[in-house]
Amino acid sequence: MCGIVGYIGNKDVDSVILVGLEKLEYRGYDSAGIAAIDEGKLFIRKRKGRILDLYSLVNGKPIRGKIGIGHTRWATHGKVTDENAHPHVDCTGSVAVVHNGIIENYIELKDELTSLGHKFVSETDSEVIPHLIEEYYEGNLLEAVLKTVNKLQGAFAFVVISAKEPDKMIGVRYASPLILGIGDDEMLFASDIPALLSHTKRIITLEDGDVVLATQKEYEIFDFEGRKRSRDVTVVTWEADMVEKEGFPHYMLKEIHEQPKVFVKNIASYIKEGEPQILKDFNLRRILLNKNEFFIQASGTSLHAGMIGTYMLQNLARIKSQAEYSSEFRYKNPVFDPRTLVVAISQSGETADTLAGVRLAKSNGLDVLSIVNVQESTIARESDYVIYINAGPEIGVASTKAYTAQLLILALLSLEIGYLKGFITDSQLADYVNELKALPEKMRSILAKEAQIQHIAEKFYSANNFMFLGRGINFPTALEGALKLKEISYIHATGYAAGEMKHGPIALVDENLPVVVVAPRTSVYSKTISNIQEVRARGGRIIIVATDGDENVREFGEEIIYIPETFEIFTPILSIIPLQLLAYHIAVLRNCDVDKPRNLAKSVTVE
Ligand code: AGP
């Protein structure tokens, strides 16, 4: 949460920082600010609200310079106010800091600094950082920062500039992400890759305990003791135009429509000579084949993909598997068996709960495989093995294309293991592979029904509550459909296993309640139809996601959205798409900020 940017180079800092912050706005959007050094003096512009509000502040009161830092905030400590917006400064107004994370010992540090005469103007934990730097400054900014980091507890990525040393920018990473971008005659810091792409593709993903001293032309990396460290430079494969809306009104809609393309790309890279080769590394194959249980831990949408993964792994590869919220997994005191593989699924690769689950598993000696989108992210780097889902940058806070890409990877993984273990024959594998190759076209045919789904949204957008039901492998689809709707439209939505409805939630059904039932033709189809009857008998307004050609459901549903037929194991890949579109259009009709829903952030880097 929170996005930070830093720049030193030849360009005007206001546009570099503001554009960079726009690319990171998905990380938080309670307030935003910028600091720059011009002719030896530090200037700050900050205010509560979005980056657009900061633009108008800067338009009215320009800020200049070739070195600067910026911040977009997701509030933790302190209300959403102008004073609590970053950057924060020291008493002299010469040191400015932008911070992402939580300084856990800030109260004692603040007391200590106050007793030494420092004056605080915000309620944030972050403000202790510039004051500590001020306190320790004896003519060398790097030394003051090194002393400061050794006083801090908690999670922190921060960038510092000082009018006393206007040709230096220092970035620190500890338990919150920070990337160094190495350009031609310019250096940048950012919380995430999209902010750097229009300047450079050469990056260093910093590691915990890294302190980087950057000038316009050079950088040096130190540890907290001031010893030099070296890090490899990576060239990212994402392009700058991947983070544009490309004519769509929202990133979310663009990303929904990108799903077939992501499938085509992944199928081409992971299926070779008719076989899934996701574990092509022989060691990884050997290691995974020796595991007797897969324990998937993830958060939010990624957990829903993981839940579907358990059905795939059990059915295709006959592997015992379970999925759990990362935030619960950690505190359950899990019993670890050395033959358990812990699987972390995360779009961002930075989710604090999921990362903590990875660390817990590793500290207990277990192997960890991560399924991640963002290259070089912390979860990817800390796991023993990583499979990338190659969905490209996902900017909309509501995850869509990453979810279906995660499902594809889980399906490929399950097929490969099932085939290698002998549970899937050659001809069955060929059928599965052919069907996977047919999915992008089937996804396109659902996207072509957007006008019908928009019409359904117009009918139901003013409802106060929704229920989503699904059974078997589509039970998590119901959870995901409900999550999509509630997070972007603020309508209360409950997702439930259709067979469980009679144990409680059926009490909610009346003639005002829209009930979305995911009922493709699968092994639990007839059971789902019985559940639809139960809703119908109580007057609920039924919207059904059904398989093409299923005339039977017309009798029960007020609205039917047809999806193409596919193998049961792949149905969740198709059945979620109408629910993503439904949530999107309902949110638009309710005038909600689709890409930046209230109270949320894309990367949840606090526990
Ligand atoms: C999805 O729409 C959500 N905004 C959220 O639940 C998300 O899936 C969750 O925070 C996990 O994120 P990750 O995949 O980056 O770990």
Which pLDDT does position 600 carry in this prediction?
A: 82
> Backbone phi, then psi, for 535, in 5-degree steps?
-70, -45
Q: Which of 69-83, 452-466, 510-524 has the lowest mean pLDDT?
A: 69-83
> Which residue's alpha carbon is nearest to atom 10 within ligand 1?
300
Mean of pLDDT values over 311-327: 96
User: From the CB of 370, is ligand 1 less than 6 Å away?
Assistant: no
| Residue 243 confidence (pLDDT) | 74
How far apart are alpha carbons 161 and 594 in whole angstroms? Answer: 35
d(CA 19, CA 197): 11
Task: Name the DSSP class of 250.
Answer: S
**Separation of CA 428 and ligand 1 centre (Å):** 34
580 lines ligand 1 (CB under 6 A): no
The pLDDT assigned to 48 comes to 94
The pLDDT tens digits of the residues spanning 62-74 come to: 999 999 999 999 8
pLDDT score for 439: 98
Identify the three-state secondary structure at position 211. strand
Buried b (16+ CB within 10 A) or exposed e, 284-307: bbebbeebeebbbbbbbbbbbbbb
Q: How far is the CA of 375 from the centre of ligand 1 (A)?
A: 16
pLDDT bucket at 158, cuts 50 / 70 / 90: very high
Does the CA dihedral 486-491-497-503 come out positive or negative? positive
Instruction: Using CA atoms of 228, 234, 235, 237 in order, give the dihedral in degrees to the nearest 10.
Output: -150
Ligand 1 neighbourhood includes 604 CB (under 6 angstroms): yes
Share above pLDDT 90 across residues of the chain, in percent, rounded to a whole number: 85
Percent of the chain with pLDDT over 70: 100
Residue 274 CB coordination number (10 Å): 12
| pLDDT band, very low/low/confident/very high, at 550 (cuts 50, 70, 90) | very high
The residue nearest atom 5 of ligand 1, judged by CA position, is 300
At residue 308, the pLDDT reads 98
Q: Answer for the pair 358, 326: CB distance below 8 angstroms, yes or no.
A: no
From 303, 348, 389, 406, the mutation candidate for ligand 1 (largest count of ligand atoms within 8 A of CB) is 348
Q: What is the distance in A from the centroid of ligand 1 to the CA of 263?
A: 20
Q: Residue 376: which pLDDT band, with cuts at 50, 70 and 90?
A: confident
Whether 309 shows a pLDDT value over 90: the answer reads: yes
Looking at 66, 484, 486, 602, which residue is catalytic?
Answer: 602
Average pLDDT of span 113-132: 97
3-state SS, residue 351? coil
pLDDT tops 90 at residue 280: no
Judge whether residue 281 has pLDDT over 80: no
Provide the pLDDT confidence category of residue 457 given band limits of 50, 70 and 90.
very high
Per-residue pLDDT tens over the stretch 94-105: 999 999 999 999
Average pLDDT over residues 172-186: 95
CA 346 to centroid of ligand 1, rounded, Å: 7
Name the catalytic one among 2, 66, 164, 484: 2
Shortest-distance Cα residue to atom 4 of ligand 1: 398
* Beta carbon of 94 within 6 Å of any ligand 1 atom: no
Please work out whether the CB of residue 351 comes within 6 Å of at least one atom of ligand 1. yes
Per the model's pLDDT, the better-predicted residue between 331 and 163 turns out to be: 163
Predicted TM-score (pTM) of the model is 0.81
Per-residue confidence (pLDDT) for residue 375, from 0 to 100 = 87
Check pLDDT > 90 for residue 543.
yes
Question: 288 or 5, which is more confident?
Answer: 5
398 lines ligand 1 (CB under 6 A): yes
Which tens digits make up the pLDDT trace of 219-266? 999 999 999 999 999 998 887 777 778 889 999 999 999 999 999 999
Task: Report pLDDT for 172.
Answer: 98
The alpha carbon of residue 211 and the mean position of all alpha carbons in its chain are separated, in whole angstroms, by 25
- Phi, psi (deg, nearest 5) at residue 419: -70, -45
Give the ligand 1 atom nearest the CA of 379.
16
347 in contact with ligand 1, CB cutoff 6 A: yes
Helix 475-489 and helix 300-317, axial crossing angle in degrees, nearest 10:
170
* Ligand 1 geometric centre to CA of 395 (Å): 11
Higher pLDDT, 28 or 303: 303
- Write down the pLDDT at residue 141: 98
- pLDDT value at residue 536: 92
Confidence of residue 184 (pLDDT cuts 50, 70, 90): very high
- Closest atom, ligand 1, to C-alpha of 399: 2
Lowest mean pLDDT among 32-41, 58-67, 289-298, 593-602: 593-602
Provide the pLDDT for residue 43: 97
Atom of ligand 1 nearest to the CA of 602: 4
Q: How far is CA 183 from CA 68, 123, 201, 212, 230, in A?
A: 16, 36, 8, 15, 18
Residue 348 in contact with ligand 1 by CB distance below 6 A: yes
pLDDT tens for 463-484 read 999 999 999 999 999 999 999 9
* pLDDT score recorded for residue 361: 96
Per-residue pLDDT at 245: 82
pLDDT at 108 over 90: yes
Beta-ladder partners of 295: 322, 342
> How confident is residue 422, by pLDDT bands cut at 50, 70 and 90?
very high
Cα–Cα distance measured from residue 126 to residue 106, given in angstroms and rounded to the nearest whole number: 8
Q: What is the DSSP string of 478-536?
A: HHHHHHHHHHHH--EEEEEEGGGGGGTGGGG-STT-EEEEEE-SSTTHHHHHHHHHHHH
| pLDDT averaged over every residue in the chain | 94
Q: Is 91 a catalytic residue?
A: no
User: Can you give the pLDDT at residue 88?
Assistant: 98
pLDDT in tens, 335-375: 889 999 999 999 999 999 999 999 999 999 999 999 999 98
Which pLDDT band holds residue 603 (cuts at 50, 70, 90)?
confident
Active site residue 592: no
Ligand 1 pocket check for 302: Cβ under 6 Å: yes
Query: Atom 2 of ligand 1 has which residue's CA nearest to it?
Result: 398
